[in-house]
Amino acid sequence: MGMPEKIPEEESPPETVDLMEEYRTSGVSDILDELDRQLVGLKPVKQRIRETAALLLVERARRAMGLSHEPPSLHMSFTGNPGTGKTTVALRMADLLHRLGYIRKGHLVSVTRDDLVGQYIGHTAPKTKEILKKAMGGVLFIDEAYYLYRPDNERDYGQEAIEILLQVMENNRDDLVVILAGYSDRMDRFFESNPGFRSRIAHHIDFPDYDDGELLSIAESMLDRQGYHLDRGAVTVMADYIARRRGQPHFANARSIRNALDRARLRQANRLFEETKGPVNAEQLSTIIDRDIAASRVFTMQSHPREVSP
């Protein structure tokens, strides 16, 4: 007869865990550093993300040491004006949760009402369930979530989507994180009308508007990534543009700055064709000058506020 098989001993849990080592080896430090590089300002947002990461690292350490633990609720609400970085932070959050083992895949599925709500009876449930199927194992980001609820329209099917979402948020919270996003005041009314969401969301993060200096830094960073730069005169005019544009309708923070720079590059290209008679060098091709920005209608429509193009 052969020797009896030796049953492997179970590994005992560690007596200590080095949290800072876990912070580095898990990749969390890389994600947070990238967030700092990618987004100007937003100090309170970045602080909340760091606090959330710390909580998750501690929970993971407790689990490794065999201590009692309960997975924290990770559904979130991001509130703030357009162009304040909510989608970018959601992407980084999905990566962070995946690195720490709280979601299987780490992908982000970004949707609006139209992706979830159907236009006729029997259409909404399949649409919503299909989106949820795609999002499982990752993060579902619902922008302008308050549009799901339209109590003034009796023939609206948004409530059906809400009920399905609430059920999945409760029953599958170990495999799906839902982030609701939108304007602060509208999200407050949405939560008042749908207390089921409020009770399931533990993390509410408000995204402040950028100040003028931060927007100028964002403009320079955007151009730098595209291989362009502002000359000295253009920096001054861009700062003036930001101050004026902020006071006009439909201002969308970094999104409005991106649109303005797209228009400035268009003007630069036309200027080079119209004014340059001979060869151009790399510096000319890469420089935005004051006139490329000053031609914006923002500078002529200050006294008649209405929707303006960049």
Residue-wise pLDDT for 100-112, tens only, equals: 888 999 899 999 9
Mean of pLDDT values over 253-261: 96
**Secondary structure tally for the chain: helices H, strands E:** 14, 7
**Per mean pLDDT, which of 64-68, 119-123, 194-198, 298-302 is the most reliable?**
194-198
User: Domains of the chain, with CATH numbers?
Assistant: 19-207 (3.40.50.300), 212-299 (1.10.8.60)
- Range from 16-20, 156-160, 226-230 that averages highest in pLDDT: 226-230
Question: How sure is the predictor about 198, in pLDDT bands with cuts at 50, 70 and 90?
Answer: confident
Q: What is the pLDDT of residues 120-172, one digit of tens each?
A: 888 899 999 999 999 999 999 999 999 998 877 767 888 999 999 999 999 99
Compute the average pLDDT of residues 239-268. Answer: 95
Mean pLDDT to the nearest integer, 224-252: 95
Above 90 in pLDDT, residue 173? no
pLDDT of residue 5: 58
Q: What pLDDT score was predicted for residue 295?
A: 94
Return all residues near 113 (Cβ < 8 A) that are at least 6 apart: 144, 147, 148, 158
What is the identity of the amino acid at 51? E
Three-class secondary structure of residue 1 per DSSP: coil
Most confident of 23-27, 193-197, 261-265: 261-265
Please state whether the predicted TM-score (pTM) of the whole model is above 0.75.
yes
Long-range contacts of 156-160 (CB under 8 A, 24+ apart): 156/117, 157/117, 157/118, 157/119, 157/121, 157/123, 157/124, 158/113, 158/116, 158/117, 158/124, 160/117, 160/124, 160/125, 160/128
Does the structure show a pLDDT above 60 at 302?
no
Q: Residue 3: pLDDT above 60?
A: no
Q: What is the pLDDT of residue 220?
A: 97
Which of 5-14, 185-194, 260-269 has the lowest average pLDDT? 5-14
Place of tokens 């994600």: 31
Q: How confident is the model at residue 254 (pLDDT cuts 50, 70, 90)?
A: very high
pLDDT surpassing 70 at residue 269:
yes
Chain mean pLDDT for the chain: 89
